[in-house]
Amino acid sequence: MRLVILLSFLAALGFLSVETLVRCTDRYYLIGLVPALMVSGYALSLVKVRLNQPLPWLALLLYLTYSLFAGQDYMASNRARWLCLNRLEASGISFKEIDGGAEYNIVRGLDIYASHYRGAPPRDTWRWWPIRGEKYIVSFSTIPDYDLLFSQSYFSLMTMSEHKVFALKQVEKP
């Protein structure tokens, strides 16, 4: 059993290392959850912590609460982001002029992986994903040299407050 736990953990750790270093897609970190829980459970059994004690149940309750709140935040913020992106496209703006984040850029064409262009400085250091253009940006904050076109609100359980996603247009240089 120890060998299975160790091999599962090492395989998940290897996959996560590649995923983090190469693509940096954070939602795949969940792949390491089961092996990490297996290692944690095994470690707890070595130090004689029993599951009928309150500490493991409290930790589980905190983890479940955080997971629910974080999941809601992620889904609500992405819903708002995609509403902004769809509104931009519906107004006639080409996807080639929009930086809507990695998922958006990839959904609009896998050929984006052939590019290493990440935008003009200083914005090129803000992204890990390639873009086609950045005349329009959908962002969770305002950006210097960009005007606000419109915003989309969403409610986050993480902060128990409203947040906004911004659709921005690059300021025309004279």
Q: How confident is the model at residue 5 (pLDDT cuts 50, 70, 90)?
A: confident
Encode pLDDT of 135-157 as tens digits. 999 999 999 999 999 999 999 99
| Cut 0.85: pTM above it | no
Judged against a pLDDT cut of 80, whether residue 105 lies above it is answered with: yes
Contacts of 35 (CB under 8 A, 6+ apart): 5, 8, 9, 11, 12, 13
Q: What pLDDT is stored for residue 76 in this prediction?
A: 95
Residue 51: the pLDDT is 63
Phi/psi for 133 (5° steps) reads -160, 165
